[in-house]
Amino acid sequence: MGLKRKTADLKKRMREAIKGGGSQAIKKQKAIGKKTARERILSILDAKSFHEYDLFVEHAGRDFDMDKKYLPGDGVITGTGTISGHPVCIYAQDFTVAGGSLGWAHAKKITKIMDHAMKLKVPIIGINDSGGARIQEGVNALAGYGEIFYRNTQASGVIPQISVILGPCAGGAVYSPALTDFVFVVDGVSKMFITGPEVIKTVLGEEISMEELGGARVHSEITGNSHFYSTTEEECFDQIKQLISFIPWNNEKKAATFPKKPPKTKQYNIDEIIPTDPRQPYDVRDVIRAVSDDSEFFEVQELFAANIVIGFGRISGQTAGFVANQPLVLAGVLDVDSSDKAARFIRYCDSFNIPIVTMVDLPGYLPGIDQEHAGVIRHGAKMLYAYSEATVPKITVIMRKAYGGGYIAMCSHHLRADFVAAWPTAEIAVMGPEGAANIIFRNEIKNAENPDDMRKQKIKEYKEKFANPYVAAAYGYIDAVIEPYETRNFLIHSLEISSLKAEVGPKKKHGVPPF
């Protein structure tokens, strides 16, 4: 056989494999508004950058007549490529081939590309669209999942791991995304659950649709399992590209530097965003936009626990992770979900050399039986743990209220913030004036001729004396009292001066965080 014939043979084999599940199955995939696995990879990566591996891998099923079946690529496409020039490893499950089901060879392809990502020290992106374990392959399918979970865990904090849910991801399969850093979902396309609606109906007699049980909206708003919500696959791909621009390739690098750009101060005038009355709401994201380059803020988990805001921006061209109380929602309290959300983000930033900017304005913890019973002690402790453990530069700006435990938790000096600034509007105190006056002056109020007037007077006295930043400043718990308009300069300088920060904690295998 000459080269020409051999080349023709290769081309024929490739054509066969690239067809995936064939035109019927592709038509079905498209009919429900989904792109094919290959289209997805090509839309995420830079043009002509995709290099595919293991196209000719064959499945390993031997029982139930599976040996007579040909499954192109065994239902998953793997390879490497670039996103805006940044190298990534990528895989996409192909629902058109045996429902994207995971068998031994399918898993082997995924673990191979994951191992590559670890060796090359580049991010791994996994696109999930699979009916689950390939039942015909029995325990080998389970082994495949286990091998993926193990690698997800080993890679955690070493290379960025991104999961994109573009179809069903059910049963054991959900645990790979859950172990990764960021989960992307698309409305109407993503479906994630441990037990599906049918099992729930049979066992419990409760009827619920897939969308209501584990759709994109549910995971973005209620469970917090996803980090980025979009309404189309194109929007989702844009979000992935944006995220990649903010994060480094691995834990030994810093994120790419961008040209410095001033904030859009006309649109976001920091002096006009915050009402001085601590009981009035405002959108804290406007404050972040007032200090970040080009007023850009890339929010993470926008819909989940919206009482705390987390996300990426740039200060002077460098990526910063923002954590900010959101007075617009639930008065910006800390609770089970918001502590959980912020703590994980802090750990992400710390793993990947991203400095953390904390913006503080909170009344404390959310009171409630449900909160106590849901373990707000344990979840709240996650924030203390994450901030205390983080060794990246930590800059804190106290804007308005910082009461009680909330003051400590929001990256105070006591948890080793490097720089803490407060605005003149800051109120740093053990609790709000109303509560404090009631306790401290209990007897005076009780024995007064007119208790209400006495209470009002005592609240006023307490407010004047303690509802300011100067008591904390007198102890050196805050480093500077600055005017709001100085905040950006404060951040630029603090981050520049701490760019070589190196802090080493006590030697240990690992801590025991309040998981």
Q: 172, 405, 435, 514: which one contacts another protein (CB under 8 A)?
A: 435
Distance CA(254)–CA(319), nearest Å, equals: 9
Binding pattern for the stretch 273-312 against another protein, x by CB under 8 A and - elsewhere: -----xxxx-----------------------xxx-----
Partners of residue 325 on adjacent β-strands: 308
Cβ atoms of 505 and 295 within 8 Å: the answer is no
Q: Given the rule CB under 8 A, which of 24-32, 95-103, 229-237, 272-280 is the region that contacts another protein?
A: 272-280
Partners of residue 429 on adjacent β-strands: 403
Nearer to another protein, 157 or 435 (CB): 435
Nearer to another protein, 22 or 367 (CB): 367
Cβ atoms of 129 and 55 within 8 Å: the answer is no
Cβ atoms of 237 and 43 within 8 Å: the answer is yes
Nearer to another protein, 77 or 437 (CB): 437
Query: Which one, of 397, 417, 414, 395, lies nearest residue 320 by Cα?
Result: 395
Q: Does 205 bind another protein (CB under 8 A)?
A: yes
Whose tokens are 């109020």? That residue is: 445
Smallest separation (angstroms) from another protein to the CB of 131: 23
Nearer to another protein, 185 or 333 (CB): 333
Contacts with another protein in 319-378 (CB under 8 A)? 327-333, 337, 363-364, 366-370, 373
Cβ atoms of 123 and 161 within 8 Å: the answer is yes
Smallest separation (angstroms) from another protein to the CB of 61: 28
Q: Given the rule CB under 8 A, which of 86-94, 112-120, 434-442, 488-496 is the region that contacts another protein?
A: 434-442
Please spell the DSSP secondary structure of 204-238, one letter per residue: H-----HHHHHBHHHIIIII---SEEESSHHHHHH
Helix (H) or strand (E) holding 511, with range, is none
Residue 241 in 3-state DSSP? helix
Nearer to another protein, 23 or 267 (CB): 267
Smallest separation (angstroms) from another protein to the CB of 370: 5
Distance CA(481)–CA(284), nearest Å, equals: 19
Nearer to another protein, 111 or 265 (CB): 265
* Neighbouring C-beta atoms of residue 514, cutoff 10 Å: 17
Nearer to another protein, 37 or 437 (CB): 437
Smallest separation (angstroms) from another protein to the CB of 404: 8
Provide the H-helix boundaries in 419-484: 433-440, 442-447, 451-466, 470-474
Binding pattern for the stretch 28-57 against another protein, x by CB under 8 A and - elsewhere: ------------------------------
Q: 1, 3, 31, 203: which one contacts another protein (CB under 8 A)?
A: 203
Size of the site for another protein (CB under 8 A): 37
Smallest separation (angstroms) from another protein to the CB of 358: 20
Smallest separation (angstroms) from another protein to the CB of 75: 31
Smallest separation (angstroms) from another protein to the CB of 280: 6
- The tokens describing 367, both together, are 């009171």
Distance CA(295)–CA(286), nearest Å, equals: 9
Provide the H-helix boundaries in 124-164: 139-155
Smallest separation (angstroms) from another protein to the CB of 448: 18
Smallest separation (angstroms) from another protein to the CB of 373: 8
Smallest separation (angstroms) from another protein to the CB of 487: 20
Q: Given the rule CB under 8 A, which of 87-95, 245-253, 350-358, 426-434 is the region that contacts another protein?
A: 426-434
* Neighbouring C-beta atoms of residue 458, cutoff 10 Å: 21
Nearer to another protein, 162 or 218 (CB): 218
Nearer to another protein, 63 or 206 (CB): 206
Distance CA(476)–CA(48), nearest Å, equals: 56
Q: 434, 453, 464, 483: which one contacts another protein (CB under 8 A)?
A: 434
- Looking from the CA of 396 toward its CB, the CA atoms found within 13 Å total 26
Smallest separation (angstroms) from another protein to the CB of 381: 20
- Looking from the CA of 295 toward its CB, the CA atoms found within 13 Å total 14
- The tokens describing 231, both together, are 């309404």
The C-alpha angle 312, 318, 324, rounded to 5 degrees, equals: 35
Nearer to another protein, 367 or 511 (CB): 367
Sign of CA dihedral 326, 330, 334, 337: negative
Contacts with another protein in 94-133 (CB under 8 A)? none
Smallest separation (angstroms) from another protein to the CB of 182: 21
Nearer to another protein, 91 or 403 (CB): 403
* Neighbouring C-beta atoms of residue 495, cutoff 10 Å: 20
Residues 6+ away with beta carbon under 8 Å from 383: 334, 339, 342, 343, 346, 409
Query: Which spans of this chain sit near another protein (rule: CB under 8 A)?
Result: 203-206, 221-222, 267, 278-281, 305-307, 327-333, 337, 363-364, 366-370, 373, 403, 431-435, 438
